[in-house]
Amino acid sequence: MNSNYLYSGLIALVVSLTCFGVVNQFNNTEKTVRVEHISKTPASQAVYTRDANNNLIPLDFTQTAQDVVDAVVHIKSTQLQSTKPMQLNREKNLPHPFRDFFGDEYFQHFGPRSHQESGPPYRGLPMPQVGTGSGVIISEDGYIITNNHVIDNADDIEVTLHDKRTYKAKIVGTDPSTDLALLQIKEKNLPKVAFLDSDQVKIGEWVLAVGNPFSLNSTITAGIVSAKGRNINILKEQYAVEDFIQTDAAINPGNSGGALVNLDGGLIGINTAIASPTGSYSGYGFAIPANIVSKVMEDLIEYGVVQRGVLGITIRTVDGNLAKAHDLSTLKGVYVDSLMTPSAAKDAGVKSGDVIIKVNDTPVNTSPELQGIIARHRPGEQVTLTIERKGKEKTIDVILHNQRGDTTITSKETDVLNVIGAELTDIEADDANRLDIVHGVEVTRLYAGKLKNSTQMREGFIITHVNGKPIKSKKQLKSLLESHTGGVMLEGIYRDIPGEYFYAFGLS
């Protein structure tokens, strides 16, 4: 037994001496730290996607970002406003203080006046309001597409490129119905973004949003196409078109007017809105499809105004409840609720209760999809509708109307009416009698110009007097404005609102 203790002790001594030697040797050796460098991120090819031919390719945003960022610009729009609107008595002869003010460029809307209201004009101090957004260069000679709400009512528009060059921009045209505007700067050989066929964009496809959120210039975020054909009811125009692409790529205030592109750098849409309870990104962003953007851009360049074909129908998306209520045999398509007067669809044979399931062989399942497809066509163009009526399919060829109910193309005036930004129509005698006026000229459309930028006039205003002089025709109004400089006061009425209205602006 003593020999066992002795044996165990010898083993313990040997182990202790060995450990002491190793530790001592380590402490006497100089420490060496080795840092390894690698040429690329280890995870850069850990994620894959599929190309158009269904081949697996590494998911990499760097080249796309490099290709697109130079063509997305920062836009600063400045609007000069008075702190308070001026007030005006109802006398035809303007009081002397107002005549003094009339030489100024800054005027406010004169709202409906009651007979009890009177008093001297009030002059507010011009206070600049500055807004920022984004834009996309779509041609080498300086055309830039953005959102209408980015530059709406701006007195000055400044564009800054990615390389920090700065330019003043002019408004080529606007389209509030789609919330798009076309600008131009004086420059050549600019980088641009090419348009894609947005109908081919697929849900789940990778996309990049490029813009200037919170004035953080040239910001790029990534996400996927979350949905198509969204209508979020943010545009209040009578003929508003909402056929948005939804994405979860982060979009914030300042991204408006920026680019939504695919991994090849092609333009899928123009970023426009977010759905958020806080006003900042909450996961839902919306972009105007490139096919609509392209049509609006072409119209604004060629005609100065957008040529919008309309069917002349009121519609609803078919769902289970609607199908049950109207005994429909399909759950797809768009239900024709009623037909307007005049109506291109009615003239072609479409009836209330029909379900539109295709336009030119393109399936339509929702109202926004139908609106988006029709918005790409001009008055006078033909579309073929495939409808379902009482369980049977039928095709109907429709010649689209314009908003006035005919097929003529609208031309933007190139004279003083272009300066004020209005299309005018003479009021017929019978119409004047119904409105209890002697004469007048109706503003049928407003686009970028003095009226839209300097007043709160809306379409449908009937001008009865200019600077106190009765106006009997469009020709007379043009002649009066062409021979006038300085302040202009328009007096008139609306068909649907009681009272007289006054609008003032300056002509140089």
Q: What is the DSSP string of 459-480?
A: TT-EEEEETTEE---HHHHHHH
Model confidence pLDDT, tens digit, residues 318-371: 999 999 999 999 999 999 999 998 899 999 999 999 999 999 999 999 999 999
Sign of CA dihedral 361, 362, 366, 368: negative
439 as an active site residue: the answer is: no
The pTM of the full predicted model, rounded to 2 decimals, is 0.72
396 contacts: CB under 8 Å, gap ≥ 6:
345, 348, 349, 350, 384, 385, 387
pLDDT bin (cut points 50, 70, 90) of residue 20 is low
Model confidence pLDDT, tens digit, residues 173-218: 889 899 999 999 999 999 999 999 999 999 999 999 999 999 899 9
Out of 134, 256, 367, 454, pick the active-site residue.
256
- State the pLDDT at residue 415: 64
Q: Look at the domain 416-507 and name its fold.
A: Pdz3 Domain (2.30.42)
Q: Are residues 457 and 447 in contact, defined by beta-carbon separation less than 8 angstroms?
A: no
pLDDT bin (cut points 50, 70, 90) of residue 109 is very low
Q: In this model, does residue 13 exceed pLDDT 80?
A: no
Q: Across the strands, what pairs with 129?
A: 79
Out of 152, 175, 179, 299, pick the active-site residue.
179
Which of the pair, 402 or 136, is modelled with greater confidence? 136
Q: In this structure, which CATH number among 1.10.540.10, 3.40.50.880, 2.40.10.120, 1.10.490.10 belongs to the domain 65-83+125-305?
A: 2.40.10.120
Out of 149, 152, 354, 454, pick the active-site residue.
149
Residues of the chain with CATH 2.30.42.10: 313-399, 416-507
Question: CATH code for 313-399?
Answer: 2.30.42.10
pLDDT bin (cut points 50, 70, 90) of residue 26 is very low
Task: Classify 447 as helix, strand or coil.
Answer: coil
149 as an active site residue: the answer is: yes
- State the pLDDT at residue 106: 27
326 as an active site residue: the answer is: no
From residue 110, alpha-carbon distances to 88, 166, 422, 456, 471 in Å are 8, 36, 18, 8, 19
Q: In this model, does residue 139 exceed pLDDT 50?
A: yes
Can you tell me the distance from the alpha carbon of 368 to that of 363, in angstroms, rounded to the nearest whole number? 12
Q: Is 383 exposed, middle or buried (0-12, 13-18, 19+ CB in 10 A)?
A: buried
Helix boundaries (H) for 396-473? 416-420, 429-435, 450-454
pLDDT bin (cut points 50, 70, 90) of residue 124 is very low
Burial profile 162-175: b = 16 or more Cβ within 10 angstroms, e = fewer: beeeebebebbbbb
- Tell me the two tokens of residue 318: 């078919």
Mean pLDDT (the chain) is 83
Residues of the chain with CATH 2.40.10.120: 65-83+125-305
